[in-house]
Structure 1
Amino acid sequence: MLEGPDIHRALTRIAHEILERTKGASDVILLGIPTRGATLAHRIGERLEQVEDVKVPVGSLDITMYRDDLRTKPARALGHTELPADGIDDKLIVLVDDVLFSGRTIRAALDALNDLGRPRAVQLAVLVDRGHRELPIRADYVGKNLPTAKSEKVKVFLAETDGRDAVELIK
């Protein structure tokens, strides 16, 4: 599906779109959803700095305890939440995740954000949007729209965690 250069281009395009829509990203905070969303947030932050020479705060937002499937899935390890020292109040938060599917992960992230402060606005950036939404959530920035069957899986591999960059469709 996607290889390293495709992912690089998609993240560069997302960075440019963030700069355009936010008029320079001066009050933007990137918060990645662990694991791969946090890695992607750092990569987008690096591109923002390369393109516009603007240092955007990057953090992570653990949503584990906000998930609506805690009762039905096996226990999972808690991730790490890391916020800028100034907090998130009155800032434009861009949530970053690898794959947007049902929208339930993003709903959990919005609940988690609500407990941490009151952002001015929240936007969403995803590497892959595969459709099949169960909630009225859409991404503001999308690297690749990838139509899938509900039974298929989209697997994202990133060099930092998996040793390579790729997106694969598993039937």
Structure 2
Amino acid sequence: MSKSDIWKDAAAIEAAIDTMTERLRERLERRGIERPLMIGIHTGGVWVAERLHARLGLAEPLGHLDISFYRDDFSRVGMHPQVRPSYLPVGVDDRHLILVDDVLQSGRTIRAAHNVLFDYGRPASVTLAVLLERDGRELPIAADVAGFEAGFGADEQIKLSGPEPLLMLRARRGVNPIR
């Protein structure tokens, strides 16, 4: 990818994560939630969750979730998907969860993550936080907290890359600032 394909640089991403942190803090306070369990979805959601978890200073260890076998497109991925173990430091029954992913596109990853979580137990609530929420949803799923919101064509893709996270895409379209 060329330099012109960088949509958001590391500084913009860190600023969006700061905004997400404040919105999550306000949401937790407003709802009276004191000890939420934060869970990042492999792979992209984990690094976003690590940053949010540290900024919020949450008491519970950070969890991470692998959804590979729960995806509805599992058979399309191939014979050898990259599977990582999930780690939930405590049970999810009656817990308030913050589920974190990098990009909310079709909604299928979040649907699969919900299926995994409910196999572990019945949470009291699930708050969805994503770095980027884009249009083109295939399922009725929306983020509670998002760092960026953007409208892209069906043929355009977002990719996080680099040693410092950068949001890359093929062509820039209608973009709304942090909401």
CA distance in 2, matches of 1:98, 1:80: 19
CA distance in 2, matches of 1:167, 1:123: 23
8 A contact 2:20–2:147 mirrored in 1: yes
Distance 1:68 1:95, change over 3 A: same
The corresponding residue for 1:26 is: 34
8 A contact 2:16–2:148 mirrored in 1: yes
8 A contact 2:35–2:59 mirrored in 1: no
Letter in 1 for 2:168: E
The corresponding residue for 1:37 is: 45
Q: What TM-score do the two structures reach when normalised by structure 1? A: 0.89
* 1:146 shift after superposition: 1.5
Q: 1:99 and 2:107 equivalent?
A: no
Distance 1:104 1:66, change over 3 A: same
Letter in 2 for 1:78: V
* 1:66 shift after superposition: 0.4
Q: Counterparts of 1:1-171 in structure 2 under 5 Å?
A: 1-23=7-29, 25-49=33-57, 54-74=58-78, 75-84=80-89, 86-157=90-161, 162-171=162-171
Partner secondary structure for residue 71 of structure 1: helix
- Who wins on radius of gyration, i.e. which is larger? 2
* 1:22 shift after superposition: 0.9
* 1:25 shift after superposition: 5.0
8 A contact 2:68–2:83 mirrored in 1: yes
8 A contact 1:131–1:146 mirrored in 2: yes
Q: What is the alpha-carbon root mean square deviation over aligned residues?
A: 1.4
8 A contact 1:93–1:121 mirrored in 2: yes
Aligned-pair identity in percent equals 39
Structure 2: state its 5+ residue gaps. 1-6, 172-179
Q: What TM-score do the two structures reach when normalised by structure 2? A: 0.85
Letter in 2 for 1:82: Y
Partner secondary structure for residue 80 of structure 1: coil
